[in-house]
Amino acid sequence: MADKLIIVESPAKANTIKKFLGGNTKVVASMGHIRDLPKSKMGIDIEHDFEPEYINIRGKGDLIKALKKDAKNAKTVYLATDPDREGEAIAWHLEHILDIPEDSVCRVTFNEITKEAVQESIKHPRKLDMNLTNAQQARRVLDRIVGYKISPVLWKKVKKGLSAGRVQSVAVKLIVDRENEIANFKPEEYWNIYVTLEQSKTKEQFVAHFYGKNGKKQEIHNQEEVDTILAQIEKGKYIVTDLKKGQKKRTPAPPFTTSTMQQEASRKLGFTLKKTMSIAQGLYEGVKVPEKGSVGLITYMRTDSTRISEEARASAKKHIVHTFGEQYYENRYYKTKQNAQDAHEGIRPTYIELEPEKIKDSLTPDQYKLYRLIYNRFIASQMAAAIYDTVAVDIEVEQYVFKASGQTLKFPGFMSVYVESEDNVKETKKAKKGEEENTQIPELAVGEEVKKKKITPKQSFTEPPPRYTEASLVKALEEKGIGRPSTYSPTITTILERRYIEKEQKQLVPTDLGKIVNQLLVENFGDIVNVEFTAKVEEEFDEVAEGKEEWKQVIRDFYGPFEKNVERVEKELEHVKLEYEVSDVPCEKCGRMMVIKYGRYGKFLACPGYPECKNAKPLVETIDVPCPVCGGKVQKRKTKRRKNYYICENNPETCNYISWDPPKVGEKWEPKPEKQKTEKKPTKKTKTKRASKKNKETK
């Protein structure tokens, strides 16, 4: 008989914790949830105040028996699932299954899996926090109701197998709205004038850009305005009229939250959200390192707080002062944003002495990359600001003003360790204004004349907003208050799997299916895809977690209007047939013009005479640019993994053109066999490996 039984969620976490606890202690894993709503029906008793009908998850019968046996043979049972709402709910289900009394002091949590944190948490167990559990229940129940009520409408009007979700539908709408912005965008012409100037005594050259006239900002819209300005300044003298020197500080970014970690891992490492969270989970649960054995390398990775403990702060100071010097350290506190769940710290390394390079051999390449990112971000967050010497110069010629600015790094500070990246934005304000950063400016004096060497007008056009990437979509969802740290990755994964969106060179693009589903939801279930409404629901979940709101009341307030809306939509759409786009391809069996429909893998042609005529065939998409080899039509196709490629309609009979990239007008194309390899069909061995990997990820 064990003195203590500790139940965690995963075997990796169990293995790490075991070695921290002496005596007769047994640590086992629940393998995630053990009870959930049934898959075969809604599982919510609407008539009895929305009571959830939980059942044991299929396939976990033997595990549940083993857990019951272990609990029966232990003097004390501790539930040590993850320290968030989901983990609290799993602990609550375990308490029910194992017949642990409701008021038992059996819950332990730790923000990091280290010997000190685990031993301390075991000394201070608590009762289950039903507010956290109920917040999770509210989300689960409300999302189940939305899915089960709206999805059948999509089945009837679009196609079977589709689903609608509260957060996923808003995410799709954001992507569709952005695509519409891009499609409707009208570029505007603007110009800038750059002049290369030379200081007489040193012969140093620098570039200034046009600002305006008589000290006032002036925008240049067309060639005529450019010609007018050039004519007036053609023979003018360039005089320095103002010179300002100063210093600028750049401060470090705070420690990672879940969303900022996902964004940076996407931008810097090219990781998907799913991959980032999977690697972070492994780093949190435990990795074997020399001299320490299996230890958790980072704190809990689902958090929207930037707070860090005083112990971690002290460790960071010691490391920075020793490695870089006293002047590189600055004690920093970061303000956590409003509505953040501040139960956990920001994401940071658990042992500062375990520098990434020292334990590189203990990590997989991807683990090393993410751990280094987290480690460096945290260290930088406690370092001094970078300092730049700046100079700004105004140069006047015939009442027109040109400006030049420059900066020189004087003290690197935190930038010695880490610099936060940004999303790729096509059109920034600085680019539009024509401002130049980091121009080297010679030592000038007010009243000094500089010599014009070259003048360069440049025409530009405003560009549409960029498509979302996984990183920028997470940022948008977070800023709008939609979802929480634990929901971003599964949300984007779901809408990709549903084929509502697809990736094109990391950009998220709505499919035709996604556009149709979004249109149906926007027109008939406006609240569900409304950003403000969805954010308000998230705030209500937070109030439940804080004990300020009763979880079933949130469901009651939502369900009444929602149910009436569903009934109205079903009646209105009962006799409405979905209009399909008619193609110019006749059906070879009955002569009708075939229509474009949407299947699992995208568009296809189908006879409108179904079910009398069941003829259907693939829809071949072509692009406007002719084949660079033979001039024929170029078809856009997809591989089994949904990656686009382009192929001539005459391939392989008379033309060999095939490419991952679309052809450009006038380009010459040479076949590159090493880059044109088609995807190999998975062998039996590969399929087994993939299935095994998928099972591990599921667990």
- What are the residue numbers of the active site? 300
* Element containing residue 274 per DSSP (H, E): helix 273-285
Question: Between the CA atoms of 325, 328, 333 and 338, what dihedral angle is there, to the nearest 10 degrees?
Answer: -140
Q: What percentage of the chain's residues is helix, strand, coil (to nearest 5)?
A: 40, 20, 40
Q: Which residues contact 92 (CB under 8 A, 6 or more apart)?
A: 128, 130, 133
Among 107, 383, 351, 74, residue whose Cα is nearest residue 253: 383
Q: What is the DSSP string of 499-556?
A: TSEEEETTEEEE-HHHHHHHHHHHHH-TTTT-HHHHHHHHHHHHHHHTTSS-HHHHHH
The 3-state DSSP class for residue 488 equals: helix
Among 486, 470, 503, residue whose Cα is nearest residue 143: 486
The answer to whether the peptide bond before residue 485 is cis (omega within 30 degrees of 0) is no
From CA 604, how far away is CA 598, in angstroms rounded? 6
Q: Are 525 and 149 in contact (CB under 8 A)?
A: no
Task: Kindly give the pairing relationship between strand 51-52 and strand 293-295.
Answer: unpaired
Fill in the amino acid letter for 239.
Answer: I
Q: How many CA atoms lie within 13 Å of 285's alpha carbon, on the beta-carbon side? A: 18
> What pairs with residue 56 in β-bridges?
35
What's the CA angle centered on 112, arms 106 and 117, to 5 degrees?
60
Phi/psi of residue 650, nearest 5 degrees: -95, 5
Task: Kindly give the pairing relationship between strand 205-213 and strand 189-198.
Answer: antiparallel
